[in-house]
């Protein structure tokens, strides 16, 4: 069984990279995300599955809005491989 979804992680600060002259930011402040969602929970499209999935920021409630940086990425979790004994 493979679990898919979006993973929210805290990162130390903003990270910006440039591709073909366009600047991309791959970390957002808690303020940006709470404003985007209209609260501490929202929905986003998972780019792997194409499905709309719930995203929760509740874990960061009470944290500094402008000093807390988060990334949201697609996560595919596979179960651990079972060891097979060869006899």
Closest CA to 7 of 36, 37, 38, 47: 47
Which pLDDT value is given to residue 6?
Answer: 84
Which pLDDT value is given to residue 20?
Answer: 78
d(CA 34, CA 38): 6
pLDDT digits (tens, 9 = 90+) for 19-76: 777 776 788 999 999 999 999 999 998 888 888 999 999 999 999 999 999 988 886 6
């Amino acid at each position: 069984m493979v679990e898919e979804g979006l993973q929210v992680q805290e990162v130390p600060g903003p990270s910006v990279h440039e591709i073909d002259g366009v600047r991309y930011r791959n970390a957002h402040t808690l303020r940006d995300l709470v404003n985007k969602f209209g609260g501490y929970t929202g929905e986003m499209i998972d780019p792997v599955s194409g499905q709309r999935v719930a995203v929760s920021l509740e874990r960061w409630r009470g944290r500094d809005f402008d000093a807390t940086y988060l990334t949201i990425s697609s996560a595919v979790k596979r179960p651990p491989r079972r060891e097979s004994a060869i006899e």
